[in-house]
Amino acid sequence: MSDINNIKTGNAAGLTTPRNVNSRDNNKQEQTSGVQATAAGTDKVSLTETATQLQSVKQTLADAPIVNSERVSELRAAVADGSYTVDATELAQNIIDFENKLL
């Protein structure tokens, strides 16, 4: 079985050196440790001012309530007591304005 670790190739150009599985494994370990040392010493991340502002705005929006609870309560009360009315002309105009914005 030791013969398989030291195989010599025929007359092929560049293939006349003996092959050794153990040296191949050692080379992989050296390459891996070199990559780890390089990555640990040179990586740096910096954010532009615009990116920092975007993060701030994103956090502000995440903290804001999605629903105006006070307004919802008012509308529920108005619907419940029958005092909520819809102005058909205003509603139609709002629909038209919305559709025009989509174009």
> What pLDDT shows up at residue 33?
52
Name the 3-class secondary structure at 19.
strand
What are the phi and psi torsion angles at 100 (to 5°)?
-65, -35
47 CB contacts (<8 Å, ≥6 apart)? 55
Full-prediction pTM beyond 0.85?
Answer: no
- Type of residue found at 52: T
Name the 3-class secondary structure at 7.
strand
> What pLDDT shows up at residue 67?
87
Using CA atoms, how far apart are residues 45 and 71, in angstroms rounded to an integer?
44
Digit-coded pLDDT (tens) for 29-54: 555 555 555 556 788 777 788 888 99
- Type of residue found at 2: S
Ranges of the chain with pLDDT below 50: none
Q: Where are the domains of the chain?
A: 2-42, 49-102
